[in-house]
Each structure stands twice: as structure tokens, then as C-alpha cells.
């Protein structure tokens, strides 16, 4: 089970791990409404190294990225749920719209995103490669996303099924 830490503490933990020869894996997201697709990505990400760090957008950055009705769950809830996963070692909240500052601070060996980033820029990819790290795009479960779940919940509520 992981723990929630601020970026400075995450840097310290990663540096200690790096000095002991451990491979640091990093992924990020809003993780607004966790589902089995997230679990699959987190478990796959953890398999690429020794220490999995999950960076999570804070509430304000989620609103800027996803809109005024998000997040559905506040940061404290999202980080506590993520930290409860066996595959997650550290959860690091961040307030910027992208995780670049967190990537630069933690200097992971592996940067993981879902394969939906195949034709999109992965923030921090060039930087991770510049220090000898790798970027991995992992398979996602087709048709499973937070945005799709939110759409279905709203549709159900409009029909009076909620």
C-alpha cells in the first residue's frame, strides 16, 4: 500500500530508491472516478520497475482541464483510493495543468501513459529520454473511461434511473 506525499518528499523517496538501484516508474492523471481500466494501467505500470509514483491533478487543475463539474471526487478522496492500491508506492498531488514539473523533480526511469497517447505528445517524454529513461504506452480497456462513465451516469439521471 502506498502513501500520499508532497512533491518534495516524493523527490527524497525517489532519490533514496535510485541510490539503492531501484527503477522508478511514473504515471499521472486526474483519476476522478476510478474504474477497472485505471487498475489495469496501474498494475502494468508497476511491472516496469520497483517504485510506482502516481501524480494526481489537484481539484483546481482538474476543473481547468475537465470543466466546472469536475472533479467528482475531491483530491483527498482520489489520493487515498490510489494509495490503497497494492501496486502504488507513492501518490503525489500536483497543481499545474501538466505533470512536467513533477516529472522533472522526480526524474523517473520509466514514464507510463495509456496507449490513447499513441498520436499525442506525452508530457515529459523528451525529458525522461534525455536522462536515459524510457516511455511506455500501455494497452487500455476499450470503451472504459471516466468521461464515458460520467456520460452514462448523467444519461441515466436524465432518464430518472439514478
Helix, strand, coil distribution of the chain in percent, nearest 5: 45, 20, 40
Cα separation, 155 vs 146, whole angstroms: 14
Place of cell 511506455: 136
pLDDT in 10s for each residue of the chain, 162 residues:
789 999 999 999 999 999 999 999 999 999 988 877 889 999 999 999 999 999 999 999 999 999 998 898 999 999 999 999 999 999 999 999 999 999 999 999 999 998 776 667 899 999 999 999 999 999 876 766 666 766 766 777 778 775
Cα separation, 162 vs 157, whole angstroms: 5
pTM: 0.89
Closest CA to 2 of 30, 25, 35, 32: 25
Give the chain's domains with CATH numbers. 3-158 (3.40.50.620)
In this structure, is the dihedral angle defined by the CA atoms of residues 149, 74, 1 and 93, taken in order, positive or negative? positive
Amino acid at each position: 500500500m502506498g502513501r500520499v506525499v508532497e512533491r518534495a518528499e516524493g523527490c527524497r523517496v525517489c532519490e533514496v530508491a535510485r541510490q539503492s538501484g531501484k527503477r522508478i516508474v511514473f504515471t499521472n492523471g486526474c483519476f476522478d472516478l476510478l474504474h477497472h481500466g485505471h487498475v489495469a494501467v496501474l498494475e502494468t505500470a508497476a511491472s516496469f520497475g520497483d517504485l510506482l509514483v502516481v501524480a494526481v491533478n489537484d481539484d483546481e487543475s482538474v476543473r481547468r482541464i475537465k470543466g466546472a463539474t469536475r472533479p467528482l471526487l475531491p483530491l483527498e478522496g482520489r489520493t487515498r483510493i490510489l494509495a490503497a492500491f497494492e501496486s502504488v508506492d507513492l501518490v503525489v498531488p500536483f497543481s499545474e495543468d501538466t505533470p512536467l514539473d513533477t516529472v522533472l523533480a522526480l526524474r523517473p526511469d520509466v514514464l507510463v501513459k495509456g496507449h490513447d497517447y499513441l498520436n499525442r505528445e506525452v508530457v515529459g517524454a523528451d525529458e525522461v529520454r534525455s536522462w536515459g529513461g524510457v516511455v511506455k504506452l500501455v494497452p487500455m480497456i476499450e470503451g472504459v473511461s471516466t468521461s464515458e462513465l460520467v456520460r452514462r451516469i448523467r444519461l441515466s439521471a436524465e432518464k430518472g434511473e439514478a
